[in-house]
Structure 1
């Protein structure tokens, strides 16, 4: 007999013993991987960066799986139900170019300088004030974003067991805590590789059955055009300057705000992603990590966009008070309506896997930054390595507990993708402008990093909370406001950095080797290992291949 379980907004999943068996097997494997990884954790470098020993295919899949959390599954499906085919921009222009830039241009600086975190690079390029501010901002952002994944994870646990949401948040958080604390980053990464395939096994049948339900792509497109207009099924329709569209953004704000500022800000400075590349076994593997991840990233959009579009057809008023469903409920709603038992168990397992991957990525990056960039640098210096390993495990507990608190913030947003983009515009974009100016302009002074980061963060927040939220400027949607906030934060940070640099001293030229484009350090000239020099593994070929493929994907959605 099926036991109905309840989800937010009145949804319920008709799970039975087969679904729970599949879920139980998965949890046993996850904890088993954590226990197995524990044996390889001997030093703090093992715990925080897997001893820099992992092959490129492992770090590449972990790189994309770390991003394949609540942002992708619930967030992008919600985005599609609300805005339509415009969702492809978050992938083909809002991810691939930045991932390629990270692999080809920035990873030699990160990996070659042997830094353990993104903020540590700012310490080498600028000074302690820029380093401390970036560390604090990043740690705060990591906890907020981990809370989004934990909230999404708790929704599914609530649906399975009928627990109150706060109980689901606590239990889900404790489970993630168990395998990260035991096995460190290696546990998180190997679980992310497993989770990547489980997530695909969940989303593929949901996409296929959803399309079948609405008459295939032609039936889906016709229904959306009738209900929402032709722009809803076009990537660029209605994005002319001055035109109105569901997204509330024109082509210029999409290209600059999302395609450049938000995208590059996220993918090149978000340590939850970069940490996976830093754990690679050599420089060649580190460069290929985001490039390998770019290829599945190109096609994952279909597995999250199509279910969101199907939900918009089946529930035309989704996201409104009349429907009883939030945009975030698009995926769970289709699971309830379309999936038979057994397949439902795989889908639920895939959702849990996605949310745990996203949360684990942010918590593991939080414990690294807090331990190595804040505690070790400014509180407890020169302690034995065993002390920092023990403290890192303790901070992991703190991070998970803090994420439980921030999970309740995420619950107040109908579209969690909007919430995440708001966070990225506040924290990632200002850090990106500091990186990009400091990396490409030798004259950028020691003090310009701190003031540029501060100015960019404050400007983005003022634009969002004062100008947009108070109605001083008229922007049709939260996403459009996020694009504008990102552009404003980037411009303010760059202007302040230039102004401060003109009146303060730069770093001596000899201290910039390996930190500024055009300079080199010994770690950046490492020869490829045997096998890594094969033509099909060349980073330039992988990178430009991904860019061309992403551009070609736009063609069917542009006319």
Structure 2
């Protein structure tokens, strides 16, 4: 009862925050892009909580418990490294153009058809995937809270709709910061109690060795039957991290809302830096659960975190952890719905019905939010009975590779044109279906092969079409000037040190992966974590060496930038206090 009350207080509080923030929605840019006024700390919190969804906490923890062990961490940590790379090379190019959607940029390069196709696919996927998160959360937490999954889906869905409908990306961004705080507190509370139960990390490893499960602490696993993830799965998720971090509207839209190019880039890198230790605090308890609930891997599975919560967290603290999982689900759902409404309004409605006032377009976005959220809730309710969650995941592997190749080529190669992009989309999606359903290829192999196939098709057709038709490259003459730097980066010793630091850290990470057998265990956990964070930190230092000073120019100050909520949540000292409280609580809980 107490745990459920804590979750209820959180839900009511975040809904009230969304309604309060609606006072700052004066125009469509405020609703869809938070007035391009977010600083790096708000962007970091927003990206962090959007990325660390409940489904990514529960699923990998269950995979670690069921045999995957520390390999589940590689999915998150390689993603953090890709996020830092995106922040330096993809985010700046897109942010400089002051666009609202990535598909808007595709029209400038390739034509209207290749704007509408990706936008339509994203809208469908985002509506369904918002439901996937709700369904996963309800299935796992319903029994713990003693609430039916159907009712939990409705409660969570209605709360997300309230704050997204009221304040759009402003509400989604600032509620995500609070949700990040909850995830940090929740994760760092569970970890010490579970490690204390198993005698500490070294004792846990010794017990796993005695049980014949030493491979739980091996990162790059061979393709052992029934073990997930293997090295192929890790490579697949790393490759899928390219479209996720670099060209996914619902992730990149946060950076579009930054007050400057550098602020956006730094916010994404900070999110990557802070997410690494957080994922460790959720995965390690899953591994420890193998010794606590030996023989129950098949029956517990994805329910391992709630089971640990139920058995080891005191009443009240358990509610805080549950609120963290609900927060993770809410943050992802709000990000998806915010992007969905932006795509509907900007790429379809406004594209064909221009000339209306800002208030009109804001209400179009709000209606799209309501419809998309309702579809998501229906999809979640159907998923409870039909088990079609995996189909929603599989959808990403079918259309994201060709979209990523189209966007990356548009950003970095002048020779790409509409013919090549269209061929890339058609052949890429067709290849994925044939590989999966005709040749029975596994998801990992299909995804890994899809990217080079799409790239070859785009390059060949673009070059061929220019020969036989003397076709233009597809971009307006000034487009690449907008994409590129307006000035060269200023000489910066810190920036150059950052570049060298990042490169050396990446080389060390790859070397550690190649010679993993020689690494001490369980110390390899902290070697990989340290090298990943070192690479991301190097990227943060490298910002002045890669992005020029002109990218520091901020948008005009808005009412939101000077507000109390921005000063409180968009402040590095607030983040420092949250981590200090969490770490202190972690030490105290382990020692008492």
Task: State the TM-score, normalized to the length of structure 2.
Answer: 0.78
> Structure 1: any 5+ residue segments left out of the alignment?
1-15, 474-480
**Where in structure 2 are there 5+ consecutive unaligned residues?**
514-518, 528-592
Does 2:291 correspond to 1:313?
yes
1:384 maps to 2:357:
yes
1:280-323 alpha-carbon deviations (Å, 9 max, x no partner): 10111112121111101222221221122123333344453xx3
Q: Deviation per CA, 1:503-542: give whole Å up to 9, x if none.
A: 324545871544xxxx4328843899xxxx9958998689
Distance in 2 between residues matched to 1:238 and 1:345, nearest whole Å: 38
In the aligned structure 2, how far is the partner of 1:146 from the partner of 1:348? 19
Aligned counterpart, 1:451: 423
Identify if the C-alpha distance between structure 1 residues 152 and 537 changes in structure 2 by more than 3 Å, giving closer, same or farther: farther
Q: What is aligned with 1:55?
A: 39
Counterpart of 2:243 in structure 1 is 265
Shift of 1:357: 0.7
Residues 425 and 486 of structure 1 are in contact (CA less than 8 Å); yes or no, is this contact kept in structure 2?
A: yes
Which residue in the other structure is 1:207 paired with?
Answer: 191
Q: Which position in structure 2 is the counterpart of 1:297?
A: 275
One of 467, 476, 491 as aligned partner of 1:511: 476
Aligned Cα RMSD in Å?
3.2
Check whether the contact 2:410–2:416 (CA below 8 A) recurs between aligned residues: yes
Decide whether the 8 Å contact of 2:221 with 2:230 is kept in 1. no
| TM-fit CA distance, 1:161 | 5.2
**Contact 1:60–1:292 (Cα < 8 Å) also in 2:** yes
Cα 1:511/1:314, change in 2 over 3 Å:
same
By percentage of residues, which structure has more helix?
A: 2
- CA distance in structure 1 between the partners assigned to 2:173 and 2:187 by the alignment: 21
Q: CA deviation at 1:68?
A: 1.3
Q: Secondary structure at the match of 2:418?
A: coil
Paired residues in the alignment total 512
The within-5 A match list for 1:414-425 is 422-425=394-397
CA offsets, 1:265-290, max 9 Å, x none? Answer: 21111211111111110111112121
The Cα shift of 1:547 comes to 5.2
Question: In structure 2, how many angstroms separate the alpha carbons of the residues matched to 1:188 and 1:201?
Answer: 20
- 2:6 corresponds, among 16, 19, 22, to 22
The counterpart of 2:54, out of the listed 70, 75, 82, is 70
Deviations 1:1-23 (A, max 9, x none): xxxxxxxxxxxxxxx33x34433
Q: Does 1:114 pair with 2:92? A: no
Q: Is the 8 A contact 1:463 1:488 kept in 2?
A: no
What's the secondary structure of 1:521's corresponding residue? Answer: helix
Corresponding residue number in structure 1 for 2:203: 219
Q: Specify the SS of the correspondent of 2:481.
A: coil
* CA shift in 2, pair 1:539/1:408, >3 Å: farther
Residue 348 of structure 1 corresponds to 322
Q: What TM-score do you get using the length of structure 1 for normalisation?
A: 0.83
Structure 2 match to 1:361: 335
Retained in 1: the 8 A contact 2:45–2:177? Answer: yes
SS in 1 for 2:228: coil
Residues of 1 paired with 2:402 and 2:273: CA distance? Answer: 28
Q: Contact 1:227–1:316 (CA<8 Å) still a contact in 2?
A: no
Measure, in 2, the Cα distance between the counterparts of 1:538 and 1:410: 50
Give CA-to-partner distance per residue, 1:418-447, whole Å, 9 cap, x none: 667534312322211222233332221222
